[in-house]
Amino acid sequence: MGDQQCQERSYLSLKIYPPHSFSQKALIDTQQKYKALYKESIDNPELFWGKVAQEIDWFKPWEKTSNGELIHPQWFCGGSLNVSYNCLDRHLKGNRKSKRALVWEGENGESLTYSYEELTKEVCITANVLKKHGVGKSDTVVIYMPLIPQAIITMLACARIGAIHNVVFAGFSSKSLLERILDSGARLIVTADGGFRRGKIIPLKTRVDEAASLSNQIKKVLVFKRTGSAVQMIEGRDYWMEKERAGVEEFCDPAVLDSEQPLFILYTSGTTGKPKGIVHSSGGYLVQTAFSTKMIFDLKEEDLYWCTADIGWITGHSYVVYGPLANGASIFIYEGAPDFPSFDRFWQLIEKYKITIFYTSPTAIRAFIKWGLQWIANHDLSSLRLLGSVGEPINPEVWMWFYRHVGKEKCPIVDTWWQTETGSILISPLPGATPMKPGSATFPFFGISPEVVDEQGNPLPPGRNGFLVIKGPWPSMFRGIYKDENNYKKIYFSRIPGVYFTGDGAYKDEEGYFWITGRIDDVINVSGHRIGSAEVENALVSHPAVAEAAVVGIPDPYKGEALIAFITLKEGYLASTELVQVLKDHVVKEIGSLARPQEIRFLDTLPKTRSGKIVRRLLKEVSLQGRITGDTTTLEDSQFIDKIGKI
Ligand code: ATP
Ligand code: MG
């Protein structure tokens, strides 16, 4: 919040130090070391990133570290590499040949493990099948798959031959799929007959058929078998992968690709509007995702690392697939939902596989809290040594729950701030070094210079809410919005010239910690004070009755804007006028009378994107005009619109 009031809130002064036992073995074990290396990285970024890039195998070394540009940046200019080679082959030379690369469990309890050697072979075979079907360098391939090993294998197979993948989350409808197919220009789709979700079969192939029937752009569909359900196969267009792989070579030469060769297109979550097709490079992207994974997750050879994101999101690209595999890590993936067949599914998996690093989202943690501690109590989670959060600001209360009940107060939490556009984490604690403050993403990663500024781009003093911008370029920065140069420049580089505009609001505290306060579109102006949605939501969520909260502002003749809060309740609490009063008083106590919600409305669920983010713009529309006209294609629950019309 834009004044001193927020400083009075009790948890903002709380500082939690990394456990000594963790720091002792960490790559960066003190804040002094972080600060020294950070300074080095900012003073001479060329030298710094040049050194970091040597951790990647290059077929041809780069001539220039970067072109120095923020708009249309280029990194490791003139260098050539192959991303799949870096994630696979190079580990076979050392002692990782038989190391677990990928451990998978299906929703139905099936399990599979691939060593690095096995994964390499599978990727090569799939790459050769793609080639056989005419896919070549720079062709776009849409991947529409459940979270099964073949999805990751296909991503890596594209990378191997220089094709550009466009992963579309399997939960999307045929309409959303079609939009992404058309926008990205793909002519070939890789899919599965179906996927399992909460015991039901998601008819992926049928949805592909629907999408393909509406356009003649799709020429080929390659289908993996997952559920065994009956699907229609169109001769000359559709092919079973199992048949196609028979007879192809078991090795595929990794293509020698320019550092700037696009690796993938990925659509953003759509929290603030229509999703954007973000394009990422090969060299810069890999260098930074690999390096950030190693430092932020403090990877150790024996870790079994689980990032719960779907590969349909950027977190799934950078921190399920590319970052960890480039480091030769063992990754775990799970096909299904956290609440099926019971609410303790994730805890069972952590116990069974002895997961050591668990990286998830605030929305998942809020669901765990809502379901209750009884689901976690009987599971042995002692294998865990590090926790992570991504996707939204994590409410301090939710952070504390995660820290106490999942991490048992012995695991640091890395609250990682970043975006599809940034390619990798830009603000986060280093788990062995950074004193944590629940709810703060803490400090910038190496080589990153964020700032909180006003409308004119002037840096703001501590405690003042403003726009979060990044001052200089970084290697994993996106290279554009696919075929949309105008919006690329307009959205990110024109509002405040000379910096990258994130679209998020934030403030820095006296100690330089960054606090993300929500989207700038969601900033609420009450009597001249700029209040971030996250700040009031944090206060609401700190009340024992509240599971989740979303706060929006509507015009008010006296105050400028008035606050409307939408909340869901925890099990065992009922909506009542008394509770409304209690919650309003609670917010006043936590933040001040300025933040008192004018109205509190109770919902069963909040509108969320498929990636689990609360979509406040729709709640605002409902509050203002009683109906929704904005983009709803990425909404998790399409019935939400009907339901909300009735409240
Ligand atoms: P769109 O750009 O289409 O509106 P989106 O911004 O939700 O969708 P993503 O790129 O998936 O798409 O999400 C990035 C955003 O998620 C950030 O801009 C930020 O608002 C939020 N976010 C991610 N991690 C954190 C975090 N640790 N703390 C606070 N906010 C976070
Ligand atoms: Mg965004």
What gap in Å lies between CA 647 and CA 642, rounded to an integer? 10
Tell me, yes or no, if the pTM score tops 0.90. yes
Helices (H) and strands (E) in the chain, counts: 22, 30
CA–CA separation, 558 and 527 (whole Å): 8
**Residue with the nearest Cα to atom 26 of ligand 1?**
417
Cβ of 327 closer than 6 Å to ligand 1, yes or no, is no
Instruction: Identify whether residues 475 and 540 lie together within a single domain.
Output: no
Same domain as 275, residue 134: no
* CA of residue 312 to ligand 2 center, whole Å: 15
Q: Is the dihedral of CA 47, 51, 56, 60 positive or negative?
A: positive
Q: What is the DSSP string of 59-128?
A: SB--SEEE---SSS--EEET-EE-HHHHHTHHHHHTT-TTSEEEEEE-TTS-EEEEEHHHHHHHHHHHHH
Nearest ligand to the C-alpha atom of residue 271 = 1
What is the per-residue pLDDT across 159-197, written as a single tens digit (0 to 9) for each?
A: 999 999 999 999 999 999 999 999 999 999 999 999 999
Give the up-direction half-sphere exposure of residue 599: CA atoms within 13 A in the CB hemisphere: 15
Residue 487 is assigned to a structural domain of this protein: yes
pLDDT in tens, 572-604: 999 999 999 999 999 999 998 999 999 999 999
Residues 272-313 have pLDDT tens digits of 888 999 999 999 999 999 999 999 999 999 999 999 999 999
Test site for ligand 1: of 395, 419, 608, 614, most ligand atoms within 8 A of the Cβ:
419
pLDDT at 644: 57
Is the minimum distance from the CB of 2 to ligand 1 under 6 angstroms?
Answer: no
Closest atom of ligand 1 relative to the 315 alpha carbon: 11
442 and 402 in one domain? yes
Instruction: Determine the distance separating the centroid of ligand 1 and the alpha carbon of 392, expressed in angstroms.
Output: 6
Instruction: Report which of 282, 342, 319, 221 is spatially closest to residue 53, judged by C-alpha positions.
Output: 282
Q: Are residues 565 and 416 in the same domain?
A: no
49 in contact with ligand 1, CB cutoff 6 A? no
**Single-letter amino acid code for the residue at 506:** A
Express each pLDDT in 328-361 by its tens digit. Answer: 999 999 999 999 999 999 999 999 999 999 999 9
Q: Cα of 420 to ligand 2 centre, how many Å? A: 7
514 occurs within a structural domain: no
The structure tokens 């391939």 sit at 141
Mean pLDDT computed over every residue of the chain: 94
pLDDT band at 640 (very low <50, low <70, confident <90, very high): low
Find the 50 Cα to ligand 1 centroid distance in Å: 29
Residue nearest (by alpha carbon) to ligand 1 atom 3: 270
Whether 24 is in a domain gets the answer yes
Q: Are residues 362 and 260 located together in one domain of the fold?
A: yes
pLDDT band at 643 (very low <50, low <70, confident <90, very high): low
pLDDT tier, 634 (very low <50, low <70, confident <90, very high otherwise) = confident
In a domain, 95, yes or no: no
From 255, 275, 296, the end of a domain falls on 255
CB-based contacts of 158, cutoff 8 Å, min separation 6:
127, 130, 135, 141, 143, 164, 165, 264
Instruction: Assess whether pLDDT exceeds 60 at residue 77.
Output: yes
Residue 216 corresponds to which tokens in the numbers above?
């003649």
Structure-model confidence comparison of residues 5 and 431, the more confident one? 431
Residue 117 counted as domain residue: no
Give a three-class secondary structure readout of 378-432: CCCCCCCCEEEEECCCCCHHHHHHHHHHHCCCCCCEEEEECCCCCCCCCECCCCC
Atom of ligand 1 nearest to the CA of 276: 3
Phi, then psi, of 630 in degrees rounded to 5: -70, 175
Do 414 and 335 fall within a single domain?
A: yes
Q: Are 243 and 321 found together in one domain?
A: no
User: Are residues 244 and 275 both part of a single domain?
Assistant: no
Q: Which domain holds residue 576?
A: 527-646
Residue 480: give its domain's CATH number. Answer: 3.40.50.12780
Is the pLDDT reported for residue 639 higher than 80?
no
One domain, residues 369 and 283: yes
Judge if the beta carbon of residue 326 lies within 6 A of ligand 1. no
Residue nearest to atom 19 of ligand 1 (CA): 392
As a whole number, mean pLDDT of residues 228-257 equals: 97
Structural Rg of the chain based on CA atoms: 24
Lookup: tokens for 258: 């320019």
Cα dihedral across residues 240, 244, 246, 249: positive or negative: negative
CATH code, 581? 3.30.300.30
473 pLDDT tier (thresholds 50, 70, 90): very high
Cα torsion through 150, 156, 158, 159, rounded to 10: 170
Residue 271 beta carbon below 6 angstroms from any ligand 1 atom: yes
Number of folded domains that form the chain: 3
Does ipTM top 0.85?
yes
Distance between alpha carbon 417 and the CA centroid of its chain, in Å? 9
Domain containing 200 — which CATH number?
3.40.50.980
Looking at the domain assignment, is residue 587 inside a domain? yes
pLDDT over 70, % of the chain: 96
Neighbours of ion ligand 2 (CB under 5 A): 268
Sorting pLDDT into bands at 50, 70 and 90, what band is 5?
A: very low
Beta bridge mates, 192: 224
- Name the pLDDT band for 636 (thresholds 50, 70, 90): confident
Same domain for 501 and 574, yes or no, is: no
- Tell me which of 228, 255, 282 is where a domain ends: 255
Q: Judge if the beta carbon of residue 362 lies within 6 A of ligand 1.
A: no
What are the tens digits of pLDDT across the range 398-435?
A: 999 999 999 999 999 999 999 999 999 999 999 999 99
- Based on the fold, state whether residues 411 and 337 are members of the same structural domain: yes
Mean pLDDT in residue range 98-111 = 97
Atom of ligand 1 nearest to the CA of 427: 27
What pLDDT is attached to residue 629? Answer: 74
The residue whose CA is least distant from atom 30 of ligand 1 is 392
414: nearest Cα among 10, 124, 6, 26: 26
**pLDDT tens column, 8-47:** 455 567 899 999 999 999 999 999 999 999 999 999 999 9
Per-residue confidence (pLDDT) for residue 359, from 0 to 100: 98
Contact 125, 153 (CB under 8 A): no
User: Is there an atom of ligand 1 within 6 Å of 270 CB?
Assistant: yes
Q: State the Cα–Cα distance between residues 475 and 460, nearest whole angstrom.
A: 27
User: Tell me, what's the pLDDT at 626?
Assistant: 77
Residues 495 and 546 in one domain: no
CA 419 to ligand 1 center in whole angstroms: 5
